[in-house]
Amino acid sequence: KAGVTQTPRYLIKTRGQQVTLSCSPISGHRSVSWYQQTPGQGLQFLFEYFSETQRNKGNFPGRFSGRQFSNSRSEMNVSTLELGDSALYLCASNALGGNTGELFFGEGSRLTVL
Amino acid sequence: QQPVQSPQAVILREGEDAVINCSSSKALYSVHWYRQKHGEAPVFLMILLKGGEQKGHEKISASFNEKKQQSSLYLTASQLSYSGTYFCGTPDNAGKSTFGDGTTLTVKP
């Protein structure tokens, strides 16, 4: 069974631009979570979507947004990019969400903001 | 609030043991453990759902002390392949998983 797929894997943007990242979860998984990973901050929770609804949200500014489609694929968008947004963005899928299931992570999208 | 992991880093020789701790200031519903190798995605190791539960995967095991709001990961007779960064995740009752900053384990020959 195919794993979690994230695209693009690498991208470079400049300050002020916006970016959209995509995540295709494992087939049948309805929950998709997004995390920002930086060397100094570890894995920071951005948001979680379940059946097209945002169910949980982390402490990130409104420039970070996301959505989930009916096929469970998810996108996250970052507008007005700042240098500090440079990070590895990981998405993880889970069959049902909740606190009992394992998370399956994609390999991430590495964003560099210049 | 994210869980606190200790130590931040540990260096071992092959065959040595290590313990990684994860503690939380909030009540824990479950604890997940993941390992991430450099340049790769975090990979699930195990989940502990109940206080007092212990699990094992090859020579890696974990315990969960619900009352103390902490979990420990035990790596026995470490192998080179155990090198990586280990994260504990603590989902809340709504399913939002918060992770510790990670413990970097380096196993040397």
- Reported as a single tens digit per residue, the pLDDT across A16-40 is 999 999 999 999 898 999 999 998 7
Determine contact: A41 vs chain B, CB below 8 A: yes
Q: Residues A78-94: pLDDT tens digits?
A: 999 999 999 999 999 98
Give B47's contacts in chain A (Cβ within 8 Å): 100-102
Give chain B's residues under pLDDT 70.
50-56, 95
Determine contact: A109 vs chain B, CB below 8 A: no
Q: What is the pLDDT of residue A100?
A: 61
| Tokens at A99, concatenated | 């606190």
- Between CA B45 and CA B34 the distance in angstroms is 5
Is the confidence at residue A98, as pLDDT, over 90? no
Q: What is the pLDDT of residue B37?
A: 93
| pLDDT band at A97; cut points 50, 70, 90 | low
Q: What is the pLDDT of residue B92?
A: 79
Determine contact: A85 vs chain B, CB below 8 A: no
Looking at the partner chain, which of A4, A42, A58 has a beta carbon nearest the beta carbon of B101? A42
Give B34's contacts in chain A (Cβ within 8 Å): 103, 105
Is the confidence at residue A1, as pLDDT, over 70? no
Determine contact: A99 vs chain B, CB below 8 A: yes
